[in-house]
Structures are given as C-alpha cells and as structure tokens.
Chains A and B, each alone.
Chain A
Amino acid sequence: MSVTVARSLEEALESLARAPHALVLAGGTDAMVEINFGHRRPLDVLAVDRVPELALWQRDGAILRIGAGVTYTELEGLPFSVLVPALAHASRTVGSPQIRNAGTIGGNVATASPAGDTLPVLVALDASIELHSVEGVRVVPWHEYFVGPKRTTRRDNELVVAVHVPVRRGPQVFLKVGTRNAMVIAVASLCLAVDLDERTLRCGLGAVGPVPLRAAEAESWVVDQLHWTHDTVQLRSSSGAQEFGRLVADAARPIDDHRGTAAFRRHAIAVCAERALERVCDGER
C-alpha cells in the first residue's frame, strides 16, 4: 500500500495518471469509515487535502467557482452565506463541527451519495463540476455528472477540482429531514432557489432517488402561480404550495432502506416542498 500526499494540483494529476485506481482522500469523512470498517482496502491512497489549488474560491461574474477542497465550515461563512445562502445552510447541517472542519464540497460531489447534503443545492442552482486530468479540463453539468448511487461520469484519472455555482439574486431555502439536527444523514432533503432576474425557480431533491433530482414539472407549474416583482415573489393562491408539494413528490424516486421507507420519503419531500415554497414567498432566505 502507498500513500501519496500531493502538494500541488500538477502532482495530484500526475499521481492519478500513474495510479488511476487510487483512492482519492479529501476530508476522509466517508473514505475513512469504509477503511476503518474493512469495507475498503485501497492499494494506493492519494491525499489531496494539501493541494493549494483546491482550497481556492473566486467569483467570475455570475459564476462562483468553489475549489473542491473548501470545507463545510468555510462554506457556512462569508462570502458563501451571502452569495449562495442555501449552500451555506446545507453545509451547516452536515455532521458536526468536527466533520465540517474536515469534509469538503469536492468530497461530497466525488462520493456522490444520494444523500449528499450539498447535492440538492447544486441541482437547484444549476451547478457544474470542473474535472481535471493530465489530458485536460472539462466542465460537466450536474445532470450529466451524477449517474447512480455513488456513481458519476468522472473518469478514473480525473480529479474533481472545483464546482461552478451560478450566483442568483433571490431567496433560497434548504430543508433536510432526519432524526436530529446534528450528525444526521438525510432521509429527504430539498433546495428551492428563486432567480428574481430570470424569474425562475428551481427545486433540487436529495435522498429520494438514486441521484440528486430536479423537480422540473413542479417548477414549470409553479412559475405560473407566482406573482413577481423586482425584489419578491408571491404565491397567487394559498393552495398553490400544497399542489407544488404534490408535484414535487411525483418527481421523487425513493426507496425503502434502514433510514426510512419510500412512502415516508415521498411524504416528507412533499412537506419540505410546500414549506420551502411558503418560505421563499415570505421573503425568507
């Protein structure tokens, strides 16, 4: 077994090119559990937690490029809490302070658990994933990246280097259902993001399907039920939120597992959708 601690992006990519089967270790909050429990015996580990290029973020016009190594603790604070409030909120619901100090957005994206807390946010903001290899760079929209539970279109020699998140003006809500506020893997999660300039609303769902999902039909239905001003969005009728919840539940593809039944997940996601819509219409962010 070998452990490589990469100190630059170039080194990390060269190492991955030599050993494309290597386990890429970022914050370790998922990978180490598998190793500790003997579910995984990697021959080679590539630690990327000291690659300085991954720790960066920058805003380029309407796109916020967040380095894969940015931790949940960092995402909770400025500037993310202002530019992408739902991402900050979702990050605050991850694990505990110890987990948030270690876990990274790149790890969440690369692991691609259906319950990954940031994933419904990336759906609702229509984010893309920036992948690098020694062969080059490609930027993949989220819907072409997630293909199954813990399965993505990342190639073995590619590293998740950044996430491109559009900065949108308008209220955003993230909701997560679990047995307590801390240390919980989502049974269902949802992000609703309004774009007041585009006059659109996007809804991302987590833990209710094999991949993070978008409730596109519910979105297009509800856009016609809304009254838009420059700074606010209001529901035209009070029954709209309930119908929105029903349509969002139709988009879910949940399964029964040890954390909850498919029926409960479908119910929970409908309640989350209804509540999130009421909140964005109240102007709550």
Chain B
Amino acid sequence: MTGHESIDETVVDADTDVSYRLRVNGIDHDVASAWLGESLLYVLRERLGLPGSKNACEQGECGSCSVFVDGLLVCSCLVLGAAAIDRTIVTVEGVGDESGAPSLVQRAFVEAGAVQCGFCTPGLVMTVHDLLHRSRVASDLEIREAISGNLCRCTGYGRILDAIERAFAAADEGPP
C-alpha cells in the first residue's frame, strides 16, 4: 500500500506483494516486492537502478552513500527505505543541471584531479553541495570538519581540498 499524502498514519505491509513509493530526483518510483528492512541505500542501488550512491560500510562511517533527504545530508545506509515515503530524496544522479551536465562541484573534482578510485567521490560531491548550500565562505578547518564523515583511502585528501576550493571559487561566479 502506497502511503497517501492525506492520511496521517501510513502502514506499509509486505505480507502481500505490496510496495511503497519514493520520490527520488524529482521522480516517483514504485518499490515492488521489497523487504521492508532494506536501507534506502539498498533500495536506490538494487531496486531503483541508481548505483551512484556507493555501499562501503553500511554503518554510517564512510559517507560514500551520502544523499539529501528533505534537504538534509544523511547516510542513505542509515535511512530505512520504507520510512522515507513522502520525503524528497536527491542522490548524486540528481545534482547535475537539467541538461544532465555535471554540477559545478563535480566539474571541480574533475578539474582538480580529485578522483582516484572514485568510490568516495559521489559522497564527497554530495557533502560539498551541502557545504555550499549552507555557506559561501568556509575556512580550511570548517571544510575539514564538513568532510569528516567522508572517507577517502586513495588521495590523502589534498586534491579533494583543492577541488573544494575550486568549487567555492566557481560558486562565487554562479549557482552550484
């Protein structure tokens, strides 16, 4: 049973072949035949064909599954998919512009060479978008605190910090 906007309490029951609906990147997706204990990360990757959010730790340690839920940056592995009905979810697939071109933050990562194996990159891109939403100015320490929940095991963070500086500079010239 899909949660309806007008009812106060939504009970999703999977004993029958039922699903719920998630709004991801502006599109409503039906989630069919799902176990209701699946994380949002699992649902995104395995059921909705959105593998941009990466699965590394499944315990909120690594940040590679970071998404926006109702505008807040969270680890999608720690969100229960079925409890995210009626939320506005944005994944890394949804941060580019309408034509599908990479976002300002994504371009900054490419330009700075801040991608090595690439596994942490989608999560870091989401985190930098969040940082830019919150402030157009950030000190080095504020940037480091902002990315403290995103682990990169390749780069040593130097080029990632370069990319973030580039993103801030580019954001001064236009919206991210």
Partner-B contacts on A (CB < 8 A)? 1-8, 11, 15, 25, 27-29, 32-33, 35-37, 41-42, 45, 47, 49, 73, 95-99, 101-102, 181-183
Contacts and interface: CB of A to CB of B under 8 A. Distances in A.
B75 interface: yes
B84 to A, nearest CB: 9
A15 B9 CA distance: 10
B61 interface: yes
Q: Which of B61, B83, B146 has the most CB of A within 10 A?
A: B83
Interface stretch (B45-53, B66-74, B92-100, B101-109): B66-74
Given A36-B58, A181-B148, A183-B61, A28 B78 contact: yes
B79 interface: yes
A96 B73 CA distance: 10
Contacts of A32: 39, 60, 77-80
Interface residues of B, number: 37
B60 A33 contact: yes
9 contacts: A1-B37, A2-B36, A5-B10, A25-B80, A45-B37, A45-B82, A73-B72, A101-B72, A102-B72
A200 B144 CA distance: 38
B59 A37 contact: yes
B37 A98 contact: no
Contacts of A8: 8
Contacts of A35: 37, 39, 80
A1 B36 contact: yes
Contact of A29 (B60, B83, B85): B60
B9 A99 contact: no
Nearest to A42: B37
A99 B60 contact: yes
Interface stretch (B11-19, B22-30, B112-120, B157-165): B11-19
Nearest to B81: A3
